[in-house]
């Protein structure tokens, strides 16, 4: 392969990476961080947002798990547990918003929420 062809292939590959990275940024998504502040495990946790549900599994005492969520409209976050209980996480976001929400919870209450959500990639 001659040098010009090598340069063209590298340039095209770099452009493809740039475009795919920009598309991911424009897609948005919010990271939901769930910290178990209780003394017992949170069983079969599912994160719900408008239009989607994300199974997280069990979260042990003192542990945390992170999941990236994508809402299909105006949304908040709800945590569902294997025992059928749900917790409302006080926040607001829509499709295209970005950032993160950190929620410290026990099996029956929300202790603290840190909302770092913003509109779009900027």
Which one of 2.60.40.2630, 3.20.20.70, 3.40.50.300, 3.20.20.10 gives the CATH number of domain 28-119? 2.60.40.2630
The pLDDT of residue 39 is 96
Torsion angle of alpha carbons 16, 21, 24, 29, nearest 10°? 170
116, 96 Cβ separation under 8 angstroms? no
pTM of the model: 0.75
Compute the distance between CA of residue 122 and CA of residue 116 in angstroms, rounded to an integer: 13
User: Along the 122 residues of the chain, how does pLDDT read in single tens digits?
Assistant: 677 766 655 666 555 554 444 444 445 799 999 999 999 999 999 999 999 999 999 999 999 999 999 999 999 999 999 888 899 998 999 988 999 999 999 999 999 999 999 886 55
């Amino acid at each position: 392969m001659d040098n010009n062809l090598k340069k063209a292939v590298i340039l095209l590959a770099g452009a493809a990476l740039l475009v795919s990275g920009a598309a991911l940024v424009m897609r948005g998504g919010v990271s939901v961080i769930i910290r178990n502040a209780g003394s017992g495990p949170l069983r079969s946790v599912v994160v719900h947002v408008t239009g989607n549900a994300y199974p997280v599994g069990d979260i042990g005492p003192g542990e945390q798990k992170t999941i990236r969520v994508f809402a299909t409209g105006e949304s908040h976050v709800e945590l569902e547990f294997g025992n059928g209980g749900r917790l409302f996480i006080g926040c607001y976001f829509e499709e295209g918003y970005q950032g993160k929400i950190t929620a410290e919870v026990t099996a029956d209450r929300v202790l603290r929420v840190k909302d770092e959500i913003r509109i779009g990639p900027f």
